Structure 1
């Protein structure tokens, strides 16, 4: 069993107590956790390291929230390696960032507070925010300088210290991204299959871009700060129709389901049931009761039924609340071919893509005919051309392969756009000539061949072959820097890549790669020829600029791939 998760501020608090000689040994000693047998009972955990050493945790909701709640019985405690190993190997919890609780907006400053006092408070808050932003930027920049391979427990600890500081001053969006970065670093060090260098690069770019915009005063400060807990506002009464239910597994250690619903005005709403845990939570959540009134519906049934709400509340992202004042009654649902659900497929694909690329509402409603299946995707033919549908769970991937055996079968699909891959989406639900009740929740249900219409199974289609675009050279260097650090950008190959981009006519992209290479090689030296550590923002800023450019360039190409010439958004 793994060690209990910890809050971000616990890791630096424990490692700061270690003497330097022990702190240097943390990375090499973390593997010892694999030999520990952790016994958890309620809000307490312990491991007998040897006959004379016992490590105990006092937990709150299953999480270690304070360094003082981790106690070791060895003679060196609390400055012992055992405590350091325990927190270095633990996953980082972000419960306070991703909570589903309903909260009320904070009250305004009372009128009787003196104006001078208010101004002084605001100045102090801005100063604290700037210091937290600088600390988080510096922590991310350090990761870029050393790369994943050189970022051990100490670098990760400094990142989590900055995350803790960001949370204290209300920078919740940046703090949540910092937790994802710390999780990615830990997965990389452990050699976990969940580690993905592209995802880690995206997380670093997002956090650094938020820090950059906060430092420069660019953008909406409230959106850049984010919120710790969703604020739910009253929205009155709603008549809802179930659309589908989706299985969810997050990289931050949460799992469950989300049910999507539609009202008579064609507005989409969601009802989640997501809690700490892994894939084992999905069937429990799907067949568990909807935490809204006393409808008697499970999430699996709600995706096909209807709901009448009074006193409803919702967050800005249209997530419905389940407060005590909310009243819910089960009602009749509607099929995908009936009003109001059928209207979702009437929206032109160009308008759907514009919405999906530019807002958080990224669902697509696609109607076409099955072309077959590749090894990894279902091929669907639309009026605009072929697209590939991927599965997010094992059940979804098996279902898509089965549907691919009936080429020509008409199919309606609810899918989520993949903004970084041409003509690709993640299929959530499907309906067609299937012997099932309405639609199939692809991430939850299991299709059998008996559900398919009569016909002969088709052979597997070859995967489409396309040469990578030249612009991908910049994205590759950006991701390699995340792995190997600053020296990777200084390699001679990056100069050749820049020349290739220039020959392809991508002069702006080539210039960004040249800038990244130049800043990576620009290293000052002392009189003895030793490299002086560079703490300026030149290299991190050049990397961030290249990362944002590569991402937006790729997304522009994806937008063009979905529609025929003249129909792009």
Structure 2
């Protein structure tokens, strides 16, 4: 059994008590945890290291919430390496030991009028405490940048986790969640985990540092910058809902299940999730499990093909339906994709859908409307294009790919029937123009009763007999394939990624003069200026009277890196959007 999880601040509290010589040994000693046998009894946990040394955890709801609750019996305790190893190797729990001050209750717990009054009373600008917490988190990120992922050991991560705790207590829940993801990514990098991706780390650092900057300068909607500790549900009244499809979800964070997409009479999309801890083995149980809203008696899979009458409903801002005690729901008749209101989803021109999907991806997840990044594509099967199913959509084409093995198998079956007319629900892939992840399809298919209306590609199994045709379908001209999005700013992007991985010293060694000159010749003067500024900031280190490098605590280097990272992100998004529109408009 692994060591118990800890709250973020506990890691810093324990490591701060260690003398410098022991702090340096923590990372090299983490492998000892694999040899420990941890026993848990009620609210305590313990491990016997030798005849005279025992570590004891006092847990609250299974988590170590205070440094004093971790006790070692060795002579050096509490300034011993054993306690440092225990917290450094532990999973970080997402929470704080004390209630978050001034957090508004959810709509499930208060009347609608009270919830509206609470929203109206929200501050229009961040408080001094919130700005201070954002500044602490900013400096923690700057420390990570200077050290890089390879140099961010237990002490650097502890500083980040302490800043995360400060942000959470101040009510900056979005920033705190982002900081926890960065801390987990740094731990994966140090452990040599193959799941570590420097591009993901870079994106998370850019997002968090930009968020901290906006909080410190009061830039943008404050409620969106703060985020929420818990998803807030507000009353929405009664709805008549129609099942669209059921999507399989297997997240890298250790959660899996399904999300059922629904459509109301006005064409708005809503979701009902069934996500639980675990891997892909959890998907089947979630899909066949009951819908927690009301007492409809429907499973998630049946809801995706059925209908629902909802009264007293609640929902979060991203249109996730709530399951409060006052919510009532009963099963209702379904609608096919060719009938109102579902048919209206395919009426919007594809270029307009692409524009909407790209705009949605710039929003935080908690403020992104359900289905905003989905595409509703109708076309004719041209056949396989590598691992994708190619659809002719007017004079353009879209390649549909599968995210899981079952979906890929189903798409291969569909590719054997050129000329087949299909409707598809898919999620746009911004880095691959003309390519989207297919969630469900419907068309000229001979489906059994249990697959009425459509096929959920991640759950259902298509057979060759379901798509058999007479072989006389007329095919449109086959368009040329579209390449991936080119990256004109690739040299700047590489420097940004290298700094996130190896720290400031990596950029300080290499010269960027050739890349700066190339950018200037190609007319990318802003990109050239940003790369030159980043290179200069990386090398600009002060020295004392003895020639020793002075520790840099200024913001010049973090700001130079953030400006470069933000430029790369926005340039790439704009290039991807333009390439996607070109793919669907011109083929």
Moved more, 188-197 or 165-174: 188-197
CA distance in 1, matches of 2:556, 2:94: 31
Matched ranges for 1:550-561 at <5 A:
550-561=568-579
Deviations 1:351-403 (A, max 9, x none): 21222122322111112233444555443332353333343333334433443
Query: Which position in structure 1 is the counterpart of 2:166?
Result: 165
2:29 counterpart residue number: 29
Is 1:382 matched with 2:400? Answer: no
Distance of 1:391 and 1:245 partners within structure 2 = 14
Q: Please report how far the alpha carbon of residue 45 of structure 1 lies from its aligned counterpart in structure 2 after TM superposition.
A: 4.7
Contact 1:70 1:83 in 2 (8 A): yes
Instruction: Describe how 1:118-517 pairs up with structure 2 within 5 A.
Output: 126-359=127-360, 360=368, 361-373=372-384, 376-383=387-394, 385-436=396-447, 437=451, 438-453=453-468, 468-517=486-535
User: What is the alpha-carbon distance in structure 1 between the residues aligned to residue 40 and residue 417 of structure 2?
Assistant: 50
How far apart are 1:468 and its partner, in Å?
3.9
- CA distance in structure 2 between the partners assigned to 1:291 and 1:376 by the alignment: 36
- Could you tell me how far 1:472 is from its partner in structure 2? 2.2
Distance in structure 2 (CA, Å) of the matches to 1:95 and 1:400:
42
Asked if 2 retains the 8 angstrom alpha-carbon contact of 1:377 and 1:400, the reply is yes
Q: Compared with structure 1, are the counterparts of its residues 343 and 30 closer, same or farther at alpha carbon in structure 2 (3 Å cutoff)?
A: same
How many Å separate the matches in 2 of 1:38 and 1:144?
35
Shift of residue 203, structure 1, vs aligned partner: 0.6
Residue number in structure 1 paired with 2:363: none
Quickly say closer, same or farther: Cα 1:566–1:327, change in 2 above 3 A: closer
Distance in structure 2 (CA, Å) of the matches to 1:316 and 1:78: 46
C-alpha separation between the residues in 2 aligned to 1:36 and 1:450?
A: 56
Aligned-residue offset at 1:61: 4.9
Q: Distance in 2 between matches of 1:60 and 1:446?
A: 45
Deviation at 1:428, TM superposition (A): 1.8
Q: Distance in 1 between matches of 2:499 and 2:539?
A: 13
Q: Distance in 2 between matches of 1:387 and 1:63?
A: 48
For residues 511-564 of structure 1, what are the alpha-carbon distances to aligned partners after superposition, in whole Å with 9 as ceiling and x for unaligned?
Answer: 111111111121212222222121111111111111111111111111112223
Deviations 1:72-114 (A, max 9, x none): 45444443323322322223232689x99945477979xxxxx
Distance, in Å, in 1 between the alignment partners of 2:554 and 2:459 is 50
How far, CA to CA, are the matches of 2:584 and 2:455 in structure 1? 34
Partner of 1:114: none
Determine helix, strand or coil for the equivalent of 2:8. coil
Q: How many Å separate the matches in 2 of 1:44 and 1:245?
A: 41
Question: Structure 1 residues 38 and 381, CA, compared in 2 at 3 Å: closer, same or farther?
Answer: farther
Which structure 2 residue ranges, 5 or more long, are not aligned? 361-367, 472-478
Quick one: distance in 2 between partners of 1:171 and 1:221?
10
| Residue 294 of structure 1: how far off its partner (Å) | 1.2
Q: TM-score, normalized by length of structure 1?
A: 0.88
Normalising by structure 2, we get a TM-score of 0.86
8 Å contact kept, 2:413–2:464: yes
Mapped contact 1:101–1:230 kept (Cα < 8 A):
no
Describe the shift of the 1:357–1:182 C-alpha distance in structure 2 as closer, same or farther (beyond 3 A).
same
Deviation at 1:234, TM superposition (A): 0.9
Q: 1:107 to 1:462 in 2, by over 3 A?
A: closer
CA distance change for structure 1 residues 485 and 103 in 2, over 3 Å: closer, same or farther? Answer: farther
* In 2, Cα distance between equivalents of 1:152 and 1:319: 38
CA RMSD of aligned residues (A): 3.2
- What does residue 14 of structure 1 align with? 14
3-state SS in 2 of match to 1:369: strand
Q: Secondary structure at the match of 1:24?
A: helix
Say how many residue pairs are matched: 552
